[in-house]
Amino acid sequence: MSGGSYDYAYCKLDEMAESVRARDNHRVTRERVAALIRKLSKIMHDIEWIDSGDYGDEDWADVKKQLDEIGEFNEEARKSVETMLLVMFREIGALVFRSEIGKE
């Protein structure tokens, strides 16, 4: 047997990743979303091959590793957003403070 237990659904994810990436607007966000979809596609590929008997139970360790990497990917993105928001709030606070001083 060669994959197929989920009708090669991971291939649809690959196509979706490429379609998302190919659009012209919001390039950075689209690249990040496409990268995440590609990571999920690889996981789904491995699960499909495990369930089809092409890979063995020992390959679940690789699936777990890939899931952990996605978690780290999301944690890194979360930290980036938090840092950006912190900088924005500091800048807004500085602007408000300067405008309040100007009123005195």
Domain ranges of the chain: 9-103
How many whole angstroms separate alpha carbon 85 and alpha carbon 76?
14
DSSP state of 56: -
Each residue of 46-103: pLDDT tens digit?
Answer: 999 999 999 999 999 999 999 888 887 778 777 777 777 787 777 777 776 766 666 6
How many whole angstroms separate alpha carbon 73 and alpha carbon 27?
18
pTM: 0.67
